Chain A
Amino acid sequence: MHISEGVLSGPVLAGGWALSAVGVGLGLKRLDYDRLMTVAILSAAFFVGSLIHVPIGPVSAHLILNGLLGAILGPAAFPAIAVALLLQAVLFQYGGLIVLGANVFDMAGPAVACSFAFGPLLRRAGKARTVGAFCCGFFAVLLAALLTACALALSGEGFIATAKAIVVAHVPIMLVEGVVTAMAVGFLAKVRPELLAQVPPHNALGS
């Protein structure tokens, strides 16, 4: 779902940069010292995640993991995803530097939105947490697909057709991401529950 260079129009690119800058700024503000390494490691997971391809019939799509980052990091997912996408653009030529702003917002916006939407579920125990984590993984990809389609639609490609193509191609990814996120969150809840004690913003800001 990396949008290539030269596809988007000027205003969309500028809008992407503006929204991403705000997101990264807010994310960094919420990021406290104790969570720095967690952010870096999940950023690394995101960076590598897009290299894992899931072949489904004729198409293959890669893991995105933005829902997982949202579930664990909350707003700090924004800078984590921004840095990972920057490195992917520079090292792998995925996407590009000019289009980076739009790509960051397409991926990180849904991650943070899901962390707010499903945060209450994630902080509960048992089944609720699993459901919350699955939803995080699932809807973060769905929203990212829709945002990507929006960015393309605003730059000329027809929205419905593009959105359909992108969403259909990513349905299996949504399911896989949901399961991966649910498993990862369940695992962390058992082994390192403090990692999941994210989002309560008063804690993060107060440190």
Chain B
Amino acid sequence: MILHRIKPVAASLALLAVLAAPALAHRVNVFAYVEGNDVVVECSYSRSERVRFGDVDVFDAASGAALLAGKTDEKGEFRFSVPPAARAAKADLRIVLKAGEGHQNTTEVKAAEYLSAAPAAALADSAAPVATPATSAPSSPLAGPVAAASAPAQPGGQVAGQGVAAPALDAAALERIVEAAVEKTIAPLRAMLVGEKEKGPGLTEIVGGLGWLVGLAGIAAYFASKGKKPQP
């Protein structure tokens, strides 16, 4: 009886479900990863729909202090270099995307991620000048790049000891090469991760939700019928 009554509605619902299959989510996604010295933030509503000119704010996750702010570009991307202060404090970064009209999402970049991802750059930027006095090089303004190149001259002995065929390969250059190679290898993996995050709800969630509704209705019907029985 009741089945008969709900048939047309059920039919239209089934049609809705079929139409829904290829549809995209209406949720805003923010995904951040470290590339060399920079943090890249990718923002999207869905795979095809980028968040153009959305506001991105970066905070120190622990203290909540605002570090920097910017806007995403045409491709929904925002790139910033980790502020030296945050790098020195080994602060985790909280990235908040405000896409407007009530759409907002947050992601976090752990300090360990950007500290380990850019060891070569960090070496050249900060570690090398500190190391120069130890190797008794002159601390002139020129010393920066020179020191970076010559600093490994001392451990160069060890390198040379291992492989005589590669005499000119210093540690910093090697790091950079490895980094580039690793970057190339994990790029597709990262794209996959982004895609995974941007995917809308799958069939499991949809069917699960419908199941919940049917179940709730069943429970309600059960209790309603219990209350009704004494009436007749």
Contact = CB atoms under 8 A, between A and B. Distances in A.
B26 A50 contact: yes
Interface in B1-41: 2, 5-6, 8-10, 12-13, 16-17, 19-20, 23-28
Contact of B13 (A44, A94, A162, A195): A44
Contacts of A88: 209
B221 interface: yes
- Most chain A beta-carbon contacts within 10 A, residue among B6, B23, B103, B216: B23
B28 A4 contact: yes
Contacts of A151: 102
Nearest to B49: A60
A52 B102 contact: no
A171 to B, nearest CB: 14
B69 to A, nearest CB: 16
Given A51-B23, A84-B213, A91-B208, A7 B5 contact: no
Nearest to A184: B12
B26 A94 contact: yes
Interface in A47-103: 47-53, 60-62, 83-84, 87-88, 91-94
Interface in A135-156: 148, 151-152
B30 to A, nearest CB: 11
Q: Interface residue tally of chain B, by bracket?
A: 35 or more
B137 interface: no
B210 A162 contact: no
Interface of B: 2, 5-6, 8-10, 12-13, 16-17, 19-20, 23-28, 49, 96, 98, 100-106, 200-201, 205-206, 208-210, 212-214, 216-217, 220-221, 224-225, 228
Interface of A: 1-8, 33, 36-45, 47-53, 60-62, 83-84, 87-88, 91-94, 148, 151-152, 157, 162, 165-166, 169, 184, 187-188, 191-192, 194-195
28 contacts: A2-B26, A4-B104, A5-B104, A7-B102, A7-B103, A36-B224, A37-B221, A40-B217, A44-B213, A45-B16, A48-B20, A51-B200, A60-B49, A87-B209, A87-B212, A91-B208, A92-B25, A92-B27, A94-B25, A148-B102, A157-B100, A162-B100, A165-B101, A169-B101, A184-B12, A191-B8, A192-B5, A195-B5
